[in-house]
Amino acid sequence: MHIIYSPDHHLHRGQYEFFRGELVPCFEKPERADYVFKAVSESGIGAITAPEHFGIEPIERVHAPRYLRFLERAWDSWAALGNTKDAIPAVWPIRGFRSDVEPDSFIAQLGMYSFDSGTPFTSGSWRAARLGADIALTAQKRIAEGARSAFALSRPPGHHAGADFLGGYCFINNAAVAAQAFIDQGAQRVAILDVDYHHGNGTQSIFYERADVLFQSIHGDPKTEYPFYLGHADETGAGAGAGFNRNYPLPAGSSNERWFEALDAASTRIASYAPDALVVSLGVDTYVGDPISKFQLDRPEYLRLGAHIGRFGLPTLFVLEGGYAVEDIGVNVAHVLKGFRDVAG
């Protein structure tokens, strides 16, 4: 397995986020990737290499140029107002407000391109997010060149980022960028399997009206679990994408067997779709010890998950998403990759 990594993910280090009405230290922190790097290094799963650089064009295939321009200049705009602490939005253009006209005020822009108050923008956020896309694209390139599998070991995560919005700690949707790269290079069909505890609302919204990318997500029920508002079972795609989106929302506290039943259902759909490649949004915040999630998977279940994915027999790209039990995230991710390797080679 090819593992793509750069220590420059440390450029993004949020200090605080709003959580349940309080300003608390960020759950999404550099130590997450540090622990994963340590675990995969010690496991011997595969060679670890640095990313190549691909420019902005592959990212613009997924994200609106206007949004990317905002991300690129956001910190400078914030600092020009005399600020030195992280930028967190405080206003949003909710229903009835316009979002087609970009305001001149940076405060208003930040709210227009965000959907929550838990995703601080720091001096290094843009550079780290760009690097994350390069890591995903490098991993995708390895598979396009013939590799059986690759792991994009990056942060911040990406699956909550839509074509023109950030949130859920996410700025650029790395899984979507990689899936689009497969399509642009000749793949007819790509499947995305999102196993993060939280629904990949950004990925769903990007591909919702398309048939060339199948999206399958197993997650906490959006009636009670973040990011809310999207991820219900009746969201099955629209237009050309009708039938190519499937959500498997599960109640908080669902048993492991119920979770794997949902995985079986998603796997059946993926197999019938017969994709040319599989992208896995690998969140391990389904872990029993995760501080902001409510499923019960433990270390043996991550080996089981990896083996299950390996049995697809597909070229597979893993992209790191969530997982906030920081000292356990490395072992859990390594278990998924080990389980996959033991089956797929």
Could you list the active site residues? 160
Cα–Cα distance between 195 and 318 in angstroms, integer? 11
Determine how β-strand 16-19 pairs with β-strand 22-25.
antiparallel
CA–CA gap between residue 213 and residue 291 (Å, rounded): 32
CA-CA-CA-CA torsion sign (47, 53, 58, 63): positive
Number of H helices, E strands in the chain: 10, 10
Q: What tokens does 159 get?
A: 């699956």
Q: What distance in Å separates the CA atoms of residue 294 and residue 29, rounded to the nearest whole number? A: 20
Q: Of 57, 52, 14, 263, which is closest to residue 152 (Cα–Cα)? A: 52
Q: Which run of H or of E encompasses 307? A: helix 299-310
**How far is residue 124 from each of residues 28, 113, 127, 153, 281, measured CA to CA in Å?**
14, 18, 5, 18, 23
DSSP letters of 172-209? S-HHHHHHHHHHHTT-S-EEEEE-SSS--HHHHHHHTT
Contact between residue 79 and residue 58 where contact means Cβ atoms under 8 Å apart: no
Distance spanning both ends of the chain, measured CA to CA: 9
Radius of gyration of the chain (CA): 19
Distance between CA atoms of residues 139 and 219, nearest Å = 25
As a whole number of angstroms, the longest Cα–Cα distance in the chain is: 55
Residue 329 CA to residue 40 CA, distance in Å, equals 11
